[in-house]
Amino acid sequence: MIYFDNGATTFPKPRCVAQAVGSAFDRYGANPGRSGHAMSMDTAIKVFEVRDALASLFGAQNLQDVVFTLNCTHAVNMAVKGALRMGDHVIISDLEHNAVLRPVHALAQRGAITYSIAQTFPDHSETLASFARHITPSTRMIACTHASNVFGTVLPIEEIGKLCRERGLLFLVDAAQTAGVLDVKPRDWGIDFLCMAGHKGLYGPSGTGVLITALGSSMQTIIEGGTGSFSGSFDQPDEMPDRLESGTVNTMGILGLGAGVSFVREKTMRALYTHEMKLATEALAMLRDIPGIQLYTPGFGFGSHVPVISFNIAGKPSEETTAALSDKGFALRGGLHCAPLAHQKMGTLETGTARISFGAFNTIEQVVQLCGAINKLARG
Amino acid sequence: MEGTIYFNSISWAIQAQKLLEGQGMPSTIRKISKIGPSGSCGYGLDLRGDTDAAMRLLEGAGIKYIHPDDL
């Protein structure tokens, strides 16, 4: 199978990730730090090293601000439900994945908060103005994606962060599609909650995610439990990262994530992004020449997009397209991609889109093969 | 000289260990079931070096430990 579904999760993983997970099974199988024996301590040190590597990669002030989660959705839920209070107003964008939309909407449905949806535009100043227009005296947070998982559009989060700082707002960024792909600087850009998947651009195993926040000690918790610290107390500890890491962490996954982070650092984000965007640009050029192909990102380019392309074959539902491509050995995702707002914006709510999302291990030969297959499908 | 510095969280204890090792102060970490009068569990960093100097280094680096006055 030729895999173009890296927006869902990256595949394959670098060899070093499998090796790290294997070594975790063989040598670091204890509960990290919870017990006093040597393997527990050795495992804790390995987990610490991954936390440290992530803190370094994202410029976190303290490595204790790095929290391991199950995935990006888990991180977003912790931040949204942990930081917001009754009566708060939140602004999200019109490109949000359900990871942001659903927890915000759920709180609104319960009458806890209200929210508005800011429009996004190719012109970043218009996007900023849209966010600013929605700010009210009750607004407490802007929560938005760094890049659309459907159309690849990158939002101006550095400028949105500046807006949040100026207006005293919390800023949550869903970096599911950009962590490990584009540079993200939470401290410099005023990001209070940086939420990311470990299993996409960071090439870790599924079941890993990260939340980076300096506000953890003051957040309400959505999960309480054993932390291996303050065990005599009935209260969840304030001290980070323990406060937001109840129960046993996914040690095998975390060690694999550490190897993925090493892979990204070794290859460099710039080189990986350049490689993937070149493939995406070539694919777009080939798709444009196929009659009956609908494309949705006229201004696709370096810096303004991540390597994600959506398309449709005229008259064909997207899932039918991706099913046919799967029969021919190509892994793409069709449908709404858990992002109904984005499809509503682009007018693709009825059909969804077929999505090509590129990764480190895709090649130009694979792109040529894929576009050839799409060409055949489009011509019937 | 030898001494022990106490931590609530394994993460802080390991960070302290790495910092102090870099300063020529080796140590080992052990789990402790009861620390001080509160009786909370935590971690002890058994240090081979000047404990006071170590605590100053930790404070300078912003590393959270349990102050001896709080034990």
Residue-wise pLDDT for A222-251, tens only, equals 999 999 888 888 999 999 999 999 999 999
B6 interfaces chain A, CB cutoff of 8 Å: no
Q: Which residues contact A25 (CB under 8 A, 6 or more apart)?
A: A252
More confident residue, A2 or B38: A2
Phi, psi of A3 (to 5 degrees): -100, 120
pLDDT of residue B33: 84
What's the confidence (pLDDT) of residue B49? 85
Residues B7-22: pLDDT tens digits? 999 999 999 999 999 9
Which residue among B11, B30, B31 sits closest to A64, beta carbon to beta carbon? B11
**Strand-pair partners of A145:** A174
Kindly report the CA angle at A97 between A95 and A98, in degrees rounded to 5?
A: 130
Rounded mean pLDDT, A78-104: 98
Structure token pair of residue A235:
């209260």
In this model, does residue B71 exceed pLDDT 90? Answer: no
* Ranges of H-type helices in chain A: 15-27, 38-58, 72-83, 98-109, 124-133, 157-167, 251-267, 269-288, 318-327, 340-346, 364-378
The whole-number average pLDDT for the span A91-103 is 98
Asked if pLDDT for residue A152 goes beyond 90, the answer is yes
pLDDT tens digits along A270-329: 999 999 999 999 999 999 999 999 999 989 999 999 999 999 999 999 999 999 999 999
- pLDDT tens for residues A171-186? 999 999 999 999 999 9
Percent of chain A with pLDDT strictly greater than 70: 100
Q: What is the pLDDT of residue B34?
A: 84
What distance, in Å, lies between the first and last C-alpha atoms of chain B? 20
Does the pLDDT at position A260 exceed 70? yes
Provide the pLDDT for residue B38. 67
Q: Buried b / exposed e across B23-45, counting CB within 10 Å, b at 16+? A: eebebebebbeebeeeebbbbbb
Q: Are A210 and A199 in contact (CB under 8 A)?
A: no
Instruction: Report if pTM > 0.90.
Output: yes
Question: A184-232 pLDDT, tens per residue?
Answer: 999 999 999 999 999 999 999 999 999 999 999 999 999 999 998 888 8
Helix A364-378 / helix A318-327 crossing angle, nearest 10 deg: 120
Task: Sort out which chain A residues have CB atoms less than 8 A from B9's CB and list them.
Answer: 64, 227, 229, 237, 239-242
A352: left (phi over 0), alpha (psi -120 to 50) or beta: left
Q: Report yes or no: A204 at the B interface, CB cutoff 8 Å.
A: no
Q: With contact defined as beta carbons under 8 Å apart, do B40 and A227 qualify?
A: no
Question: Could you tell me where the DSSP H helices lie in chain B?
Answer: 10-22, 51-60
Can you give the pLDDT at residue A153?
Answer: 97
CB of A171 closer than 8 Å to CB of A190? yes
C-alpha to C-alpha distance for A356 and A183, rounded to whole angstroms: 22
Partner-chain contact B9 A242, CB within 8 Å: yes
DSSP sequence for A52-102: HHHHHHHT-SSGGGEEEESSHHHHHHHHHHHH--TT-EEEEETT--HHHHH
Question: Can you give A141-202 as a three-state secondary structure string?
Answer: EEEEECECCCCCEECCHHHHHHHHHHHCCEEEEECCCCECCECCCCCCCCCCEEEEECCCCC
State whether residue A137 sits within 8 Å of chain B by CB: no
Please state, in angstroms and as integers, the Cα–Cα distance from residue B6 to each residue in A196, B16, B51, following that order: 33, 10, 11
Nearest to B8 among A32, A51, A230 (CB): A230
Q: A357-368, pLDDT tens digit by residue?
A: 999 999 999 999
pLDDT at A6 over 70: yes
Confidence band, pLDDT 50/70/90 cuts, at residue B70: confident
Read off the pLDDT band of A355 (50, 70, 90): very high
Please state, in angstroms and rounded to a whole number, the distance separating the CA atoms of residues A11 and A5.
8
ipTM exceeds 0.85, yes or no = yes
> Which residues make beta-bridge pairs with A335?
A353
* Mean pLDDT, chain A, whole residue set: 97
All residues of chain B having their beta carbon less than 8 Å from the beta carbon of residue A231 are 40-41
